[in-house]
Amino acid sequence: MQKEIRKIQELDLRGKRVFVRVDFNVPLKHDGDKWVVTDSKRIEGALETIRHVIASEGKCILASHLGRPKGKRDSKYSLEPVGAKLSELLGKDVILTDDCIGDGAKSLSLRMRNGDVLLLENLRFHEGEEENSPDFVAKLLELTDVYVNDAFGTMHRAHASTVGLPKMVPQRGAGFLVQKELQYLSKLRELPERPFMLIMGGAKISDKISILEHFLPKVDKVFIGGAMAYAFLKSQGHSIGKSLCDEKQEQLASKILKIADARRVKILLPVDHVMARSLKDVAGMKTTENTEIPNDFLGVDVGPKTLELFKSELDGAKTIFWNGPMGVFEQPEFAKGTFELARIIAETAALKLAGGGDSAAAISQSGSDSKFDFISTGGGATLEFLEGREFAGLKVLEFRKTGDA
């Protein structure tokens, strides 16, 4: 029997307490005596679903984690600044509970009027969330008539709010953001239009190796930048100086190069680099003449010749997926390669998708986000989905096509 994910549009929300698992794990900074949200993209991403609950006359109860408070209340990880930002974006009051479970939250939920929005305090202030403990699930259930998950980035984890709770709620489905993630990422995973070009960067090669392996049979070219590239260059015998790379990574890179060669997939690596004596040595940064990096330097970004090469090789692509920065883009002087690549991709006629790790932040900082067709909100989850892994948080939302659970 074929299964499908039920959608929020198919649920009856009127007068119901709709528990919406969102991903409000946003960056914060300390400003004077309070914390403020520095990037509200994830909050904006949930607005369509929240507005739908309001318009359907449901009672919207939002739940999220923020940071890693390790099962204890910690004001540094309070969702209070998120509530303030959400209220500003929605143009309406958002009530924040002191705790995500307990009598206070329950009685507030029961007093809600249709169209009200309640934000529960950080789920991870309780160990039961990550442990998926039955007691914690039972407490969340006291607040829930209908369950919606709109937090794609958390669906690969079997936590109380992503798996334990929805199992107990017959009326459950996926929010608009999750639907959009599935639409684009499934297409990319199953049937990308070719030529399909994959661009990978960032530092954690071990996290990305299985995605490379998954895509090698259906990709036409792979572009590699960021710290990952040094493992590939080293395995080809180039000098990489003090650049980030260990032996295991070099072995993984060498394995990928062999598979790519056998499958006739072209792998493009940097042909020049921005380098410095250390990550702090901004003043001493230099651009190499060619692929080689001298012993006392480390690579911090791709160079201009690499960008030219990548630009010309991307020409004609029908699908591009980009994951991971080309350099240490958090340092403005080392961000040029990443930002410039975002602009190069933005100018192509391909279906332009990005996701995972820092890519969304980098694209947004480069000012090219509106030109991308879709930027996935998930970090590790996006990569795991593309590798073909099954998500516990998605499976729990599946129904047989003909009828009920």
* Whole-angstrom distance, CA of residue 157 vs CA of residue 207: 16
Q: Closer CB to ligand AMP, residue 250 or residue 358?
A: 358
Judged by CB under 6 A, which of 357, 360, 374, 383 binds ligand AMP?
357
DSSP H or E run through 354: strand 351-354
Minimal CA–CA distance to 233: which of 256, 215, 262? 256
The structure tokens 């006392």 sit at: 296
CB atoms within 10 A of CB 158: 16
Q: Find the residue with minimal CB distance to ligand AMP.
A: 202
Size of the site for ligand AMP (CB under 6 A): 15
Please report how many Cα atoms fall inside a 13 Å half-sphere around the Cα of residue 60, on the Cβ side: 29
Determine, following the binding rule CB under 6 A, whether residue 226 of this chain makes contact with ligand AMP. Answer: yes
Q: For residue 364, give the amino acid letter.
A: S
Judged by CB under 6 A, which of 43, 120, 151, 244 binds ligand AMP?
244
Judged by CB under 6 A, which of 164, 299, 303, 378 binds ligand AMP?
299
128 belongs to the catalytic site = no
Q: Closer CB to ligand AMP, residue 197 or residue 233?
A: 233
Determine, following the binding rule CB under 6 A, whether residue 202 of this chain makes contact with ligand AMP. Answer: yes
> How many helices and strands (H and E) does the chain possess?
16, 19
CA 382, chain centre distance (Å): 6
* Whole-angstrom distance, CA of residue 268 vs CA of residue 240: 16
**Six-digit token string for 93:** 């009051």
Catalytic residue among 16, 17, 21, 42: 42
End-to-end CA distance of the chain: 12
Judged by CB under 6 A, which of 50, 61, 148, 300 binds ligand AMP?
300
Question: Dihedral of CA 281/282/284/289: which sign?
Answer: positive
Q: Closer CB to ligand AMP, residue 249 or residue 319?
A: 249
CB 109 within 8 A of CB 101: no
Minimal CA–CA distance to 341: which of 368, 378, 379, 375? 368
258 belongs to the catalytic site = no
Catalytic residue among 51, 67, 380, 395: 380
Cis ω before 195 (30° cut-off from 0): yes
Specify the stretch interacting with ligand AMP by CB under 6 A; choose among 19-27, 61-69, 123-131, 198-206. Answer: 198-206
378 belongs to the catalytic site = no
Q: Closer CB to ligand AMP, residue 17 or residue 42?
A: 42
Of residues 318 through 347, those in contact with ligand AMP by CB under 6 A are 324-325, 327-328, 330
* Whole-angstrom distance, CA of residue 172 vs CA of residue 253: 43
Of residues 34 through 93, those in contact with ligand AMP by CB under 6 A are none
Judged by CB under 6 A, which of 165, 227, 256, 265 binds ligand AMP?
227
Tell me the closest approach of the beta carbon of residue 37 to ligand AMP, in angstroms.
20
Contacts of 142 (CB under 8 A, 6+ apart): 101, 106, 109
Q: Closer CB to ligand AMP, residue 351 or residue 360?
A: 360
Catalytic residue among 6, 7, 204, 218: 204
Determine, following the binding rule CB under 6 A, whether residue 203 of this chain makes contact with ligand AMP. Answer: yes
357 belongs to the catalytic site = yes
Binding site for ligand AMP (CB under 6 A): 202-204, 226-227, 244, 299-300, 324-325, 327-328, 330, 357-358
> Which of the residues are catalytic?
42, 204, 357, 380
